[in-house]
Structure 1
Amino acid sequence: MDLQWGDIKLEAKIANIRRIIVDGQPEGRSKTKHHRVILLNARAIHALSKAQRLADLRRMASKSATPISPFVFQPGKGGMWIREPSVTINHFKLALTALGIRERRQYDPRHTYATMCLMAGMNPAFIANQLGHRVEMLLTTYAKWISSSSDWRELEKLPASV
């Protein structure tokens, strides 16, 4: 995971996506090669506030001369960033078990978020930007979730005279 505390502005409710981890090393670019700003909802802000508190406690408890990682998702033992996906996969599985949630892939909550946004009627261009997709890719992947009980209202938008 490549999000650093300096990328997050809780008071402004934003996170800046600036880098990725490639072959175990951070690179100063996103997967789309463009920096993007993510708007944080109340749940994300709450989770990041809790994570920040834990990072602060870790920093205060550290007796090591090793610098503390600037990354939000820190490695468990040593290092400045998580180098292997298996680290986060294991933590994710443990969290699912503790919460009584069936096992799923680590990427699936991203799909759930996209689907929930579309079902709520949010603008596909906004959702695509938040996910770092092109609108076409978003619609190709998630179009089946756009139709809903409001389909008849959509049809009524087209005047009979057209």
Structure 2
Amino acid sequence: MDDRTSRYTLPEGVRIRSGSLQVYFKRKKKYYSITLPFPVSAEGIRAAVKVRRDLITKAEWAILTDNDIAVARGDAVADDGVIVTDGALFQEIAQKYLKHCEANNDSKNDYISALNKHWMPQLALIPIQDITSEIIRDIISDIGFKSDKTFNNCLVPLRGVFDKAIELRLLTPADNPMAMIKNKKVQSGLPDPFTRDEMNALLNWLDKNLTDKDHFYYWYFEVAFWTGCRPSELYALRWKDIDWFNESVIINKSRVRGVEKQVTKTHTAREVYLNDRSKRAFEAIEAMKLSDDYVMICPETSQPFYNEKPARMRLIEAMKATRVRRRPAYNARHTYATMLLMSDVNPVFVANQLGHSLQMLIKRYGRWLHGDQNKIEISKLATD
């Protein structure tokens, strides 16, 4: 017979039926109701809460088995010991890490994906203090990451979980198993800018072939090629950020997937100076009267851009038509940087325009620092 008063006093998902404790929950469109072999007492109720939590976690990660349910009922012995564990579980600390994580939405979604796909199925129900570097190495070996870059990226949230455990004083730095897990070296690719001739061919095609509202994209790429701004920075740009008198724009925020952030990718605000072509492009966009607020308004939606796909598709069309080798639209930024360097512009100015440190500029664009001087130097090497 039901104890109908218990539903008002028992923890969520725990009830008393016919003098026995039951836990119930629904996950992935499946309903579970499991009678437990615990006494109806304070200790039994606490154990029931733990069992329910662990079963829900396994159900969420699609690793709940019939044996797990049999163990919870007391009909079988757990393959890996008992289902009820002491100490803070990995999944509990992971949830705290994600809740307190200050990364942007894109990065946070990547962290959630990496944790769900690679780490939670194996570690979710293990007490954080019981996880060793050997356990993690075994998991890494079983996963077989396809690339070193993916491996490094997936380690980021895993390190974050153990850092959170240290912050909560559940572990000491000396006990951190991630201290023994090293990132792999990844070779960075060189920027692949368009040449000036390629850029002009693309812009000429856009100018001649995009009509009506679509002609906006010609001016958009004039700005992209001649300011070096990231797409996320252009999408957050407002008319109040343009200093017409001093012919410059203030870049201090970004817009990614419709979410505006009051910082740029590198958390560095900068003043970008305009030349004749970028200034003319901004004036042409202003004349279109698309918005009194945002500079870049998507012609299809009449709203600020959600992502860079509409602009990218126009440039892909131009690359196909002109037979320019296909590259990401983001390379307009690389093109601006290399054009400045090839014109012997002061590298400090170039770094400031891009929002880089001088060290990062040299590391990324070093081969373009001396313009055509590299070709002159190699020509001195006699081959006869």
TM-score by length of 2: 0.33
| Correspondence for 2:251 | 17
Q: Point out where structure 2 has 5 or more consecutive residues left out of the alignment.
A: 1-234, 375-384
Partner amino acid, structure 2, of 1:119: M
CA shift at 1:147, angstroms?
A: 2.6
CA shift at 1:69, angstroms?
A: 6.2
Larger radius of gyration: 2
| Correspondence for 2:330 | 107
Alignment of 1:72 with 2:295, yes or no, is yes
Large movers: runs of 4+ above 6 Å:
none
1:38-49 superposed matches below 5 A: 38-49=272-283
CA shift at 1:84, angstroms?
A: 2.0
| Correspondence for 1:128 | 351
SS at match of 1:15: strand
SS at match of 2:260: strand
Of 81, 87, 90, the residue aligned with 2:310 is 87
Partner amino acid, structure 2, of 1:84: N
Q: CA RMSD in A?
A: 2.3
CA shift at 1:148, angstroms?
A: 4.4
Identity fraction in percent: 29
Of 218, 224, 236, the residue aligned with 1:2 is 236
After superposition, the Cα gap between the structure-2 partners of 1:16 and 1:69, relative to the gap in structure 1 and judged at 3 Å, is same
After superposition, the Cα gap between the structure-2 partners of 1:101 and 1:29, relative to the gap in structure 1 and judged at 3 Å, is farther
CA shift at 1:150, angstroms?
A: 5.6
After superposition, the Cα gap between the structure-2 partners of 1:148 and 1:12, relative to the gap in structure 1 and judged at 3 Å, is closer
CA shift at 1:16, angstroms?
A: 0.5
Partner amino acid, structure 1, of 2:250: N
Q: Point out where structure 1 has 5 or more consecutive residues left out of the alignment.
A: 59-67, 152-162
More helix by share: 2
After superposition, the Cα gap between the structure-2 partners of 1:89 and 1:148, relative to the gap in structure 1 and judged at 3 Å, is closer
User: C-alpha deviations, 1:52-96, integer Å up to 9, x for none?
Assistant: 112x2x4xxxxxxxxx46222112344642112212212333455
Q: Distance in 1 between matches of 2:319 and 2:297?
A: 19
- How many pairs are equivalent? 139
Alignment of 1:50 with 2:284, yes or no, is yes
CA shift at 1:48, angstroms?
A: 0.9
SS at match of 1:31: coil
| Correspondence for 2:363 | 140
TM-score by length of 1: 0.74
Q: Distance in 1 between matches of 2:294 and 2:319?
A: 22
User: C-alpha deviations, 1:89-131, integer Å up to 9, x for none?
Assistant: 1233345567x36243111121111111111111111101100
Query: Is residue 70–residue 80 contact of structure 1 (8 Å, CA) maintained in 2?
Result: no
After superposition, the Cα gap between the structure-2 partners of 1:19 and 1:150, relative to the gap in structure 1 and judged at 3 Å, is same
| Correspondence for 2:262 | 28
Query: Is residue 269–residue 355 contact of structure 2 (8 Å, CA) maintained in 1?
Result: no
Higher relative contact order (CA 8 A, sep 6+): 1
SS at match of 2:297: coil
